[in-house]
Structure 1
Amino acid sequence: MPLTQDARASSLYRLTPALMAAVAAAGLNVVIPLASPLLVALVLGLVVANTPLADRRILQDQAGLTRLLLRWGIVVLGLKLPVDAVLGIGVGGIALVVGTVLITYYGTLAVGTRLGLEPRFVTLLAAGFSICGAAAIAAVADTVRARQRDVALAVALVTVFGSVMIVLVPWSAHLIGLDDRQAAVWAGASIHEVAQVVAAGSVLGGGAVALATTVKLGRVAMLAPMSILVARRSAGEGSTTAPLLPWFVVGFVATAALRSTGLLPESALTVAGVVTNVLLAAGMFGLGLGIRLRELWPVPGRALALATLSTAIAAGSSLGLLALLM
């Protein structure tokens, strides 16, 4: 049934805080590039949720809007994926990307199981650390019926550990004697978020940013097949009835295909990048509204251990494949 005019007005009214938080987070990211807008928005929501402001009517019943914002953010994310450029990294580069994603994903699942962590949280962390950070976590959260606290903790960990990699990967690449091209490929294949890869590429200098980002976008392209793997695994465990490929992942594939036609002007792609960040950040704000600080603190030691080992798996497997394939 179509929404009435009053219902549409109410939805837009309730969207206001999330959109304001997203714009604020994006503005902070311009001033402080290492401040992930998604994490900043999540923290803003968390702070609001733990103050008397949480009782305001405008902040009630945000769960449905949060899911919608995150899903449309993933759809628009496809416009940031130049498939032709990804294919340009060659057979060796594609094999490296696929191998790193699979090893990191299944390695994280195995370690998380051994540590005795909750399976849904382990799946979130495995998807985020192997593919593209917070966006991947949001993409699989519904499939595994993840709790909000698990999603928030996974997003926080992937952001913090990815930020550490911004410094660690360039330093390590210099230490072990990688050339500029090898260092850029390693950064793109191992660091968790696209923005973090751009930052690491800037540290490396030269043409590293373009190559590192292209390799990273190859990992982003794994979002659709990885969503199928997660859905099949969850269905096998009886924990979900979600479709193998949710509509928003189909939308992600469609927008990536549209980007690859070359029909969209550069200005439209720039706007799409901003819209993606705003939608995902607004969704993260809504996610934060559903969390109480006592549910996140202290951070479980086993979760920190899994994040550390998952990061090590991503860095080690990508470096090994780099030496073998390129």
Structure 2
Amino acid sequence: MSLPPAAPLAPSRAVSPDPAPTRPARGPGPGRGRRPACLAWVPGVVLAFGVALAAQQLHRAVPMVNAVLVCIILGALASNLIRIPEAFNPGLAVAARRVLRIGIVLLGLQLSLTQIAALGPDMLLVVLAVVSGGILGTLALGRLLGVPHAQRLLIACGFSICGAAAIAAVEGAIDRDDEDVAASIALVVLFGTLMIPLIPLLVRMLSIDAHTGNLLVGASVHEVAQVVAAASLVGPDAVGTAVVVKLARVALLAPVVVAVGWGASRARAGVVGHSGTTASTRDAKKPPILPLFLVGFLAASVLTTLLTPSAGLLQLASSLQGLCLSAAMFALGISVRIATLRNLGPRPLVLGFLSTLCVLGIALAGIHADT
């Protein structure tokens, strides 16, 4: 038995679209709709700076409390204990990158090349040995421990140069995960903070005078703020000496980032070339060897060397720099997840400890030979 032919589909349903989609799309009319894209970052940035201001006030009340450490701890606690609304994410991303880079540029205003030159060639050689030996030694130790390349490079630069600012400068030139950056910053803040009471104790045990002790502080402690705290425990009158030595290490940030960027660019070119990708695609993926914020950092240091800004202006720049770094550390702390750190295992922690000993040993040997 044959079936009757199927009735053809009505053209109106097959061709004519449903009337609903033809209505105008809803736009963000008055009093309704989403926040404009240009303002999406505001909540997160306000949150980060609010926490940073609170941490700075706590630091002023209790100088031994490190504002950077407080911010990264609060960020990690917030990330793991509460659910942060998605509305804060764009601003936290801005704080973790752009605000941090503004802080690095402002750090350049504290870098007087004249003061660094006044340290003399012997002390400058010690600084060069600390940075180069610390980086190479940490990379070698990290390889022995089986720590991934990106993470050991971040730890090496952070521990050898200037802490979180160095990690932030280097991470833009290499292939890395956000968890690597957050964990490296947490390690450099942790071990640098532990050095605040331990270095003055070592100075007393070795019967080192305050001037030489603060040379050691500036050559071995990780963060600028940690240097100030440790130096004040060694001898308040020589804090400036420790800071100048530390800034001499900071001055090597730019050439190190250039070298890292050049090496990473060559590595990418080799990998991409081996895979047969065209040269145009390869060039498009290369990051700048000298990032723009490092150009600003160098320009700021040259400016402060040539014009010698007033003490009040330098103090303002220092406060703004500390505020920017603290806000950025809170935002980076948000990416520190307990599960991620648990997955890292003990090896990065051991590497941080050994890197601290490496930098301290080179600094102690160099200063002892110099004196």
Q: Are residues 1:90 and 2:120 paired?
A: yes
Q: Which has the larger displacement, 250-259 or 240-249?
A: 240-249
Alpha-carbon distance between aligned partners in 2 of 1:246 and 1:144, rounded to the nearest angstrom? 12
3-state DSSP class of the match of 1:50? helix
Q: Residue 264 of structure 1 corresponds to which residue in structure 2?
A: 309
3-state DSSP class of the match of 2:307? coil
Choose which of 345, 357, 360 in structure 2 pairs with 1:312: 357
Residue-pair matches, total: 322
Q: Are residues 1:225 and 2:264 paired?
A: no
Q: Residue 280 of structure 1 corresponds to which residue in structure 2?
A: 325
Choose which of 152, 157, 166 in structure 2 pairs with 1:127: 157
Q: Is the 8 A contact 1:17 1:59 kept in 2?
A: no
Q: Which has the larger displacement, 290-299 or 310-319?
A: 290-299
Q: Are residues 1:24 and 2:54 paired?
A: yes
Pairwise CA distance, 1:199: 1.6
Q: TM-score, normalising length from structure 2? A: 0.81
Pairwise CA distance, 1:133: 0.8
Alpha-carbon distance between aligned partners in 2 of 1:143 and 1:162, rounded to the nearest angstrom? 24
Q: TM-score, normalising length from structure 1? A: 0.91
Q: Are residues 1:192 and 2:222 paired?
A: yes
Q: Which has the larger displacement, 161-170 or 84-93?
A: 161-170
Q: Residue 93 of structure 2 corresponds to which residue in structure 1?
A: 63
- After the TM superposition, which residues 287-302 of structure 1 pair with which residues of structure 2 at under 5 Å, given as runs? 287-297=332-342, 300-302=345-347
Alpha-carbon distance between aligned partners in 1 of 2:230 and 2:305, rounded to the nearest angstrom? 26
Q: Residue 102 of structure 2 corresponds to which residue in structure 1?
A: 72
Q: Residue 38 of structure 1 corresponds to which residue in structure 2?
A: 68
3-state DSSP class of the match of 1:230? helix
Q: Is the 8 A contact 1:170 1:200 kept in 2?
A: yes
Q: Residue 266 of structure 2 corresponds to which residue in structure 1?
A: 236
Q: Residue 143 of structure 1 corresponds to which residue in structure 2?
A: 173
Alpha-carbon distance between aligned partners in 1 of 2:258 and 2:242, rounded to the nearest angstrom? 26
Higher relative CO (Cα under 8 Å, sequence separation at least 6) belongs to 1
Distance 1:196 1:244, change over 3 A: same
Distance 1:278 1:117, change over 3 A: same
Q: Residue 203 of structure 1 corresponds to which residue in structure 2?
A: 233
Distance 1:156 1:66, change over 3 A: closer
Q: Are residues 1:181 and 2:211 paired?
A: yes
Q: Is the 8 A contact 1:124 1:154 kept in 2?
A: yes
Q: Is the 8 A contact 1:54 1:289 kept in 2?
A: no
Structure 1 unaligned residues grouped into runs of 5+: none
Q: Is the 8 A contact 2:43 2:91 kept in 1?
A: no
Alpha-carbon distance between aligned partners in 2 of 1:60 and 1:68, rounded to the nearest angstrom? 12
Pairwise CA distance, 1:160: 1.6
The residue type equivalent to 1:21 in the other structure is V
The residue type equivalent to 2:151 in the other structure is F
Please, what is the CA RMSD of the aligned residues? 2.1
Distance 1:203 1:260, change over 3 A: same
